[in-house]
Amino acid sequence: MFEKIRGCRKTARLMFYDAYVLQFKTFYDAYVLQFKTFYDAYVLQFKTFYDAYVLQFKTFYDAYVLQFKTFYDAYVLQFKTFYDAYVLQFKTFYDAYVLQFKTFYDAYVLQFKTFYDAYVLQFKTFYDAYVLQFKTFYDAYVLQFKTFYDAYVLQFKTFSAAGLCSAKRFALDQTDPVTLTITVTLIDSTTLTDPVTTGRSSNPDRSGTCLYLSHEGIPLK
């Protein structure tokens, strides 16, 4: 009886073994070992990759990218705001006014400079070489000659005129009486001969009026 029971138990164990253990072993071999192989081949390598690269990248991201974003928000966006508000407006101003001024400068100012260099500077060279030299000559010689003329020639002329008048008056102021014969022709063609006595006290023409008379062929005043 006991042998039969043991046989039944053994048979039951074998059946359980075949039904579960062998199936589990088959499952284990088919899935668990393959999963372990997959795990060793991929998961552990991924973990190694993750530790080596992803964690380092996160460290890099926290250290640099987040700081860069902070920098970008604080400076780059502000710079863009500044750029839009001022630089673009300056470019508009530059295109509207500075480029037009450059066009004006090239068209007129440079041409004026060319004209200035070609004509004005040459005129200045001529002025310095000839006009200033002439002025120096004029100051040195012509003005000195005029000064000499005023000082000596005009004074000599004044002196000569005064001397001649004095000589004429001296001739009229003589006290010796002179008897002259004057011939006067009247309208009626009547010729009169009248002796005239002239002198210091009796000459009616002592005011200086020139009255030319003739006495024996000698002109008298």
pLDDT computed for residue 196 by the predictor: 47
At 122-177, the pLDDT tens digits run 999 999 999 989 989 999 999 899 899 899 988 888 887 777 666 666 555 555 55
110 versus 12: which is more confidently predicted? 110
23 versus 5: which is more confidently predicted? 23
Which sequence spans correspond to the domains of the chain?
1-172, 174-221
How would residue 181 be classed by pLDDT, with cut points 50, 70 and 90?
low
How would residue 190 be classed by pLDDT, with cut points 50, 70 and 90?
very low
pLDDT for 208 beyond 50: no
Average pLDDT over residues 83-108: 93
Instruction: Report the percent of the chain where pLDDT is more than 90.
Output: 45
pLDDT for 198 beyond 50: no
pLDDT computed for residue 16 by the predictor: 74
pLDDT for 84 beyond 90: yes
At 26-51, the pLDDT tens digits run 888 899 889 899 999 999 999 999 99
Average pLDDT over residues 185-202: 45
Instruction: Report the percent of the chain where pLDDT is more than 70.
Output: 69
Two structure tokens written together for 188: 């009626």
Two structure tokens written together for 10: 């053994």
pLDDT for 221 beyond 50: no
At 45-73, the pLDDT tens digits run 999 999 999 999 999 999 999 999 999 99
Give the chain's mean pLDDT: 79
